[in-house]
Structure 1
């Protein structure tokens, strides 16, 4: 049930929002720990994860990470120095540079995802039907 900006949410909605916040906090803490095990910061790990899906221009990376493009440049510089990321010309516009993950970076991004205990352990206790329902509800929340 949607609420207008002037009405207060009901107790159940408040509890759900708090639980979502707790889940997000635990996810980020686990992600930071997994990143640290590979001598990465959380921001570096998130950028590597994004690039493992597709090469992206720096401006788009900044939008997705919700930070300034100059911050993304520094993150990419450090990952590039480790051989995890490289800069390429955008095939659609050669004036634009995109950051792309290397094979080594892709393997590390996979290790990071597989190392997220919080994301894996509680979900393993749910049935496939429960995981499917949770996925569908989360997708619905993100599209509304």
Structure 2
């Protein structure tokens, strides 16, 4: 693997860092408006997509399963999440959003304007190209593959 340190590459790295920092800042602020930590908001957002085993949540967040257990405990105490057996393997517990949890996740997602507003200024083709480049950088390939 060849690493590049030319001025253009360095500028792109700096811009990616700035985007990430601004996204995290807005995400933390939006989470706080819903009396959630950033980690709680991220877990709730993941669960709003589909009920998920705790181990998979930990993998996605790149943290220890014990950390996820604490987050789920706090979300469950607020009535935003519930634990239920996995129909495919009753030994596994799934974390799933309650109706209140899904509603909170939707309000949280709707309050994130940082990326949505600038992306609206790009054409469909530009957004598709950006998406595909980001997927490629993450080793995920493109939708067409």
TM-score, length-scaled by structure 1? 0.90
Aligned to 1:63: 59
Shift of 1:19: 0.9
After TM superposition, where is structure 1 displaced by more than 4 Å over at least 4 residues in a row? none
Shift of 1:136: 2.1
Answering whether residue 70 of structure 2 is matched by residue 83 of structure 1, we say no
- Map 1:1-144 to 2 at 5 A: 4=2, 7-142=3-138, 143=140
Shift of 1:61: 0.8
Shift of 1:8: 4.0
- Number of residue pairs matched? 140
State which drifts further: 125-134 or 41-50.
125-134
Query: Partners of 2:43 and 2:26 in 1: how far apart?
Result: 16
SS of the residue corresponding to residue 118 of structure 1 reads: coil
State which drifts further: 14-23 or 46-55.
14-23
CA RMSD of aligned residues (A): 1.4
State which drifts further: 13-22 or 26-35.
13-22
Give 5+ residue unaligned stretches, structure 2: none
Shift of 1:132: 2.1
Shift of 1:64: 0.9
Query: Partners of 1:14 and 1:125 in 2: how far apart?
Result: 25
Give 5+ residue unaligned stretches, structure 1: none
TM-score, length-scaled by structure 2? 0.89
